[in-house]
Amino acid sequence: MTSDVASDNEPALTHESCRYLARAWWGETLVAESASAVRVQEAADVPVLYFPRADVRTDLLLEEGHTTVCPVKGEARLWTLEGKTTAGSTDWHDPAGASAVDGQDAVWEFTQPRSGLDWLGGLIAFDHDRVRVELMDTVPGGADGDITIKRFPTWGDAADLIDIMNVRPAGDRRYVSTALADPRRPVVEGSQMLGQAVVAAGRHAPDRRVVSAHMVFYRAADAREPLEFEIDELSAGRSFSTLAVHVSQGGKRRASGTLLLDVTAPDVVRHSAPPEACAGPYDSEPCDMSVTGRDIRMVDAAYTDDPAAPVGPPVIDAWVRFRDVPDDPHLHAGLLAQFTGHVSIAAALRPHDGVGQRQAHRTLSMGINAIGISFHSVVHADHWLRYHHLSTFAGDGMTHSECRVYDETKTLIASFTVDAMLRGFTQNSHAVDGRISL
């Protein structure tokens, strides 16, 4: 990744080559396709994807383009795409309920980039709120069934998530994380902090495996800032270690948990709860959660944020697989834990008509309060893992789920529970900011 600064007082730009085939669609018309797109990030804004001019259907751009000046990037020419496209045909959601999207000034090119930004020359970008920009997320050498489409802008790549989970030593029994935020909602997920705590515990006691972890999340954390993990060693015997882990940011604690680690031992007896029958990953619906390099498939397409979706049982099965993960068992376990907070609230909402996660942080207050997880085996996060979410209770402003994780051989890898809040905003609540509210 390369960083460019226009001046001492102006925001930095970062740019890097996009490793995926990129496409831009205007309705059903392909207007750009490139294996050489460039991902550009400006300060706290969402990233923008730029296509080489040679890979853009410039014949579709109306000739009456006009110029404008950006104080950061320089002089640009803007064009309009022909006609209008309906929201449905671009998978575009207009909160105002408009039935069509206008292509005016939806395309631009910096014809005279600012000094130091010469690399912007010859690149064309699209307004991704109106033009559907997507990445073809593929597995090298994989079959067609391994290809999924990720809508741009994405949060990032699996490598970015792995980097965040891979906490670094920062003194005696202290660890710190890197940070990467989605400007649209820069709030740290509780399950991320749990997964990072699992990795920190593994770094503290590398010859032992985390077998149980429970964490409570009591204060929101800002995804734009690093997190600090402080370990308190409660006990360290020949077989078991017990650790308390506190997560802090800006001098305030955000979450606390207790983790049990074990050297493990040969079986005396062995049994596990068998999984219920369900479709496999390649017979399930791909789900875009804005991370390339991670494949998510929802059985029976049961996961949705739409309040108008058909009701069903309080069960959602999800298959998850990371493409490339370092050979580090603690990191694999942390990545399994990181996904535990993603689907349980949706499972709790599924039996109820007229409610959905699209209302979260706007008209309904939702958030994970606590997660408890037990690891029954060594985790391989680069293999398909099936997360079986069962919501056993919803009421009194809370939901509870009892969940299991299996691999493709039907081996039980982990069990976890999730407690979450679900309540309406009161009339006396301050103005709700969906970017940061719970």
Q: Domains of the chain, with CATH numbers? A: 2-151 (2.170.150.40), 156-424 (2.40.160.210)
Nearest-5° Cα angle at 80, 76 to 81: 130
85 pLDDT band, cuts 50/70/90, is confident
Q: What is the pLDDT of residues 375-427, one digit of tens each?
A: 999 999 999 999 999 999 999 999 999 999 999 999 999 999 999 999 987 65
Distances (CA, A) of 292 to 15, 158, 248, 304, 432: 17, 6, 28, 19, 30
432 pLDDT band, cuts 50/70/90, is low
430 vs 20, more confident:
20
Give percent of the chain with pLDDT exceeding 70.
Answer: 90
**CA dihedral sign, ordered 85, 88, 94, 99:** positive
Average the pLDDT over 101-119 and give the result. 92
Give the model's pLDDT for residue 96. 39
Global pTM reads: 0.91
Instruction: List phi, psi (to 5°) of 283.
Output: -105, 15
Cβ atoms of 406 and 388 within 8 Å: the answer is yes
Looking at 72-121, list the stretches that DSSP marks H as alpha helix, in order from N- to C-terminal side.
Answer: none
Pairing of strands 156-157, 291-292: parallel
Q: Report the C-alpha gap between 155 and 157 in whole angstroms.
A: 7
Q: Report the C-alpha gap between 388 and 414 in whole angstroms.
A: 10
Instruction: List phi, psi (to 5°) of 89.
Output: -75, -15
Q: Report the C-alpha gap between 331 and 128 in whole angstroms.
A: 34
Confidence check: pLDDT of 9 > 90: no
Q: Give, for 346, the enclosing helix (H) or strand (E).
A: helix 344-349
Q: Report the C-alpha gap between 416 and 418 in whole angstroms.
A: 7
Q: What is the pLDDT of residues 124-155, one digit of tens each?
A: 999 999 999 999 998 776 677 889 999 999 99
44 pLDDT band, cuts 50/70/90, is confident
182 vs 86, more confident:
182
- Identify the residue whose tokens are 């008509």: 353
Mean of per-residue pLDDT scores for the chain: 91
Residue 163 DSSP SS3: helix
89 pLDDT band, cuts 50/70/90, is very low
Q: What is the pLDDT of residues 178-213, one digit of tens each?
A: 999 888 879 999 999 999 999 999 999 999 999 999
> Distance from CA of residue 324 to its chain's centroid?
16
Q: Give, for 422, the enclosing helix (H) or strand (E).
A: strand 412-424
> Distance from CA of residue 73 to its chain's centroid?
29
CB within 8 Å of 268: residues ≥ 6 apart: none
Residue 145 DSSP SS3: helix
Give the model's pLDDT for residue 93. 42
Q: Report the C-alpha gap between 181 and 286 in whole angstroms.
A: 24
Q: Report the C-alpha gap between 127 and 61 in whole angstroms.
A: 13
Give percent of the chain with pLDDT exceeding 90.
Answer: 80
Q: What is the pLDDT of residues 305-350, one digit of tens each?
A: 899 999 999 999 999 999 999 999 999 999 999 999 999 999 999 9
Instruction: List phi, psi (to 5°) of 154.
Output: -90, 160
Residue 388 DSSP SS3: strand
Tell me the Cα Rg of the chain. Answer: 23
Strands (E), 58-207: 66-70, 74-79, 84-86, 100-102, 107-113, 123-126, 132-137, 148-151, 156-157, 168-169, 174-176
Burial, 197: exposed, middle or buried (Cβ in 10 Å; 0-12, 13-18, 19+)? buried
Q: Report the C-alpha gap between 148 and 433 in whole angstroms.
A: 32
Residue 14 DSSP SS3: strand
260 pLDDT band, cuts 50/70/90, is very high
